[in-house]
């Protein structure tokens, strides 16, 4: 059993892990950059180690500094949170080489799923339905054009190493192919050091539905239903809910079983998310994330489970504490991502929080590292809080979200809160009728200066 774990992350997700560890009686070590000396995760952990200057590359992404912090503090395991090193197979290998435990899947699984072409091949072979597209990488523009003609436009060109919405370009017709192909390649090269791209049919009105899976690393796995994350801006999620308003219990059972069986067959360990586009009653795999997702709380609240606790247990070699039959959905949950950004352009707004009040009451969860007087540094992601509400059904969850948003106070910086007040007035949001393009269209007509 672990006595002490190190959290290689910051912000709300570091707090999330510290909380689970504390409930399990495990000591925690926070790491931080010099810009985060006063951060909440540093205050809340049992110990903390400064691992470098503000830039993420020199601190939260510095593998030697993180390993050294484990050695200095005697931490036995590392939880990576999401982002930063959470899907870095090389990091996992180094962690294991130092006889430390990584709280997450194996380096091999991270490597397979981190390359989107290999991930798609693997999933197809495991019986998971995929988006129609090229067979592997497409090395030249002429091949891309040929495929575009064969598949029919529109198509999407994707960097095989892509992530976070980067390295993806849509070509509506043959004329747009050259620009889309070259841009996806150069973005892939610049952001991920890999210019390989592949091509998929571009689905025009899908929803983004992702299945939460969990494996014990020894051939057993379960699914925890779906999350609908269709409300996106620039391929980034802003509002997530579970269960998905368009998914029937039969569809959930069917696709959930396909996913759980797939990860069981590869002995997957810990939390994972299998992402699909869903259109006309069909699921199409797009990628698998081999970590805890930002939006994991909506799943936790409807199933009444602690996914971080479960991750730690599995990393300790213990069995999962639930079976598929134990996992029963209770009600409906919604999460909104509150970013320090100014609308309508969503430009980052770091600064000092002059007043902060978190909403509370029945069915309200606030995952945030904010406090009065906190100075949001300009170096990292602009997510500052996740507000999660739980109701007995979708209508009561929406009413609760409205109520919780009206209690929330975040003064001193601009935030995306006004966006959610506005969305809650929209009939399509209230009825759950939206797809992955809905928000972009809405922003174009409603949020211009």
Residues 165-184: x where in contact with ligand ADP by CB under 6 A, - otherwise, as a string: xx-x----------------
Question: Segment contacting ligand ADP (CB under 6 A): 49-57, 106-114, 161-169, 387-395?
Answer: 161-169
The DSSP bridge partners found for residue 156 are 170, 200
Is there a contact between 243 and 226 (Cβ–Cβ < 8 Å)?
yes
Question: For every residue of 145-168, which 3-state class applies, written as one string?
Answer: HHHHHHHCCCEEEEEEEEECCEEE
- Residue 202 lies near ligand ADP (rule: CB under 6 A): yes
275 binds ligand ADP (CB under 6 A): yes
- Dig out the tokens for 217 from the structure: 């690393």
Number of residues this chain uses to bind ligand ADP (CB under 6 A): 20
Choose the binding region for ligand ADP from 162-170, 252-260, 301-309, 331-339 (rule: CB under 6 A).
162-170
Q: Which range of residues in 195-203, 301-309, 383-391, 404-412 is near ligand ADP by CB under 6 A? A: 195-203
Q: Please report the beta strands in 340-380, taking only residues with DSSP state E, as ranges in sequence order.
A: 341-342, 347-348, 351-352, 355-357, 364-368, 375-376
**How many CB atoms sit inside 10 A of residue 426's CB?**
14
- Told to check if 156 binds ligand ADP by CB under 6 A, we report yes
Per rule CB under 6 A, is residue 87 in the interface with ligand ADP?
no
Q: For 408, what's the count of Cα atoms within 13 Å in the CB-facing half-sphere?
A: 27
332-391: contacts with ligand ADP (CB under 6 A): none
Among residues 2, 4, 6, 13, the alpha carbon closest in space to that of 291 is found at 13
Which residue, 216 or 287, is less far from ligand ADP as judged by CB? 287
CA 390 to each of CA 214, 254, 401: distance values in angstroms, whole numbers, following the listed order: 22, 25, 9
Between the alpha carbon of residue 225 and those of residues 6, 128, 163, 274, the distances in Å are: 30, 15, 23, 11
Shortest separation between residue 285's beta carbon and ligand ADP, angstroms = 10
Nearest residue to 113 via CA among 268, 307, 280: 268
Active site residue 16: no
Cβ proximity to ligand ADP, 76 vs 435, nearer residue: 435
Does 188 interact with ligand ADP (rule: CB under 6 A)?
no
Nearer Cβ to ligand ADP (218/235):
235
- Closer residue to ligand ADP, CB minimum distance, 92 or 159: 159
Task: Output the DSSP codes for 194-210.
Answer: ---EEEEE--SS-EEEE
As given in the structure block, the two tokens for residue 382 are 């602009």
164 binds ligand ADP, rule: CB under 6 A: yes
Selected binder of ligand ADP within 7, 203, 213, 398 (CB under 6 A): 203
Under rule CB under 6 A, residue 277 binds ligand ADP: yes
Using rule CB under 6 A, residue 200 touches ligand ADP: yes
Residue 366's nearest CA partner among 345, 381, 385 is 385
Instruction: Give the footprint of ligand ADP on residues 287-316 (CB under 6 A).
Output: 287
Which of 291, 365, 394, 400 is catalytic? The answer is: 291
DSSP label of 356:
E
What's the min distance (Å) between Cβ of 202 and ligand ADP? 4
- Tokens 């990628």 label which residue? 287
Which H/E stretch holds residue 399? helix 394-407
The rounded distance, in Å, linking the Cα atoms of 358 and 335 is 15
Whether residue 388 contacts residue 328, with contact meaning beta carbons closer than 8 Å, is answered with no
Choose between 77 and 436: whose C-beta lies nearer to ligand ADP.
Answer: 436
Q: Are the C-beta atoms of residues 51 and 33 closer than 8 Å to each other?
A: yes
Between 203 and 271, CB nearer to ligand ADP: 203
Out of 232, 290, 415, 416, the only residue in the binding site for ligand ADP (CB under 6 A) is 232
Distance in Å, CB of 366 to ligand ADP, minimum: 25
Binding mask 123-152 for ligand ADP (x = CB under 6 A): --------x---------------------
Strand, coil or helix: 242:
strand
Question: Contact between 163 and ligand ADP (CB under 6 A)?
Answer: yes
CB 292 within 8 A of CB 81: yes
Considering the complex, state which of residue 241 and residue 310 has its C-beta at the smaller distance from ligand ADP.
241
**Residue positions annotated with a catalytic role:** 291
Give the residues lining the site for ligand ADP (CB under 6 A).
Answer: 131, 156, 162-166, 168, 200, 202-203, 206, 208, 232, 235, 275, 277, 286-287, 436
């Amino acid at each position: 059993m672990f006595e002490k774990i190190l959290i290689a992350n910051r912000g709300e997700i570091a707090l999330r892990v510290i909380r689970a560890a504390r409930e399990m009686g495990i000591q925690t070590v926070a790491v931080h950059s010099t810009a985060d000396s006063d951060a909440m995760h540093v205050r809340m952990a049992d110990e903390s180690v400064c691992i470098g200057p503000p830039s993420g590359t020199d601190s939260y992404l510095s593998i030697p500094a993180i390993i050294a912090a484990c050695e200095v503090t005697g931490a036995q395991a590392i939880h990576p949170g999401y982002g930063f090193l959470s899907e870095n197979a090389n990091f996992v290998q180094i962690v294991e080489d130092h006889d430390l435990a990584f709280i997450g899947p194996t380096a091999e699984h991270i490597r397979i799923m981190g390359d989107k072409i290999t991930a798609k091949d693997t999933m197809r072979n495991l019986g998971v339905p995929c988006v129609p597209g090229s067979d592997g990488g497409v090395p030249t523009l002429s091949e891309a054009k040929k495929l575009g003609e064969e598949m029919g436009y529109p198509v999407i060109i994707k960097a095989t190493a892509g992530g976070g919405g980067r390295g993806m370009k849509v070509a509506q017709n043959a004329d747009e192919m050259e620009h889309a192909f070259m841009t996806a390649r150069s973005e892939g090269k610049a952001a991920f050091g890999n210019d390989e791209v592949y091509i998929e049919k571009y689905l025009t009105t899908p929803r983004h539905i992702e299945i939460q899976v969990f494996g014990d690393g020894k051939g057993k796995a379960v699914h925890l239903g779906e999350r609908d994350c269709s409300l996106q801006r620039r391929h980034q999620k802003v509002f997530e809910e579970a269960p998905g308003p368009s998914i029937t219990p039969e569809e959930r059972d069917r696709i959930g079983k396909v996913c759980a069986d797939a990860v069981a067959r590869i002995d997957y360990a810990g939390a994972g998310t299998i992402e699909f586009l869903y259109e006309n009653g069909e699921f199409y795999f797009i990628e698998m994330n081999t970590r805890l997702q930002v939006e994991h709380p909506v799943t936790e609240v409807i199933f009444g489970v602690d996914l971080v606790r479960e991750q730690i247990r599995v990393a300790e070699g213990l069995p999962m504490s639930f079976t598929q039959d134990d996992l029963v959905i209770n009600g409906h949950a919604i999460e909104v991502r509150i970013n320090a950004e100014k609308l309508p352009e969503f430009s980052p707004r770091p600064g000092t929080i002059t007043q902060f009040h978190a909403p509370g009451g029945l069915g309200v969860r606030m995952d945030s590292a904010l406090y009065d007087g906190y100075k949001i540094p300009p170096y990292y992601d602009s997510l500052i809080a996740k507000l999660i509400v739980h109701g007995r059904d979708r209508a009561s969850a929406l009413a609760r979200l409205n109520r919780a948003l009206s209690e929330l106070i975040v003064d001193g910086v601009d935030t995306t809160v006004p966006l959610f007040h506005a969305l809650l007035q929209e009939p399509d949001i209230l009825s759950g009728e939206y797809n992955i393009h809905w928000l972009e269209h809405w922003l174009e007509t409603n949020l211009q200066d």
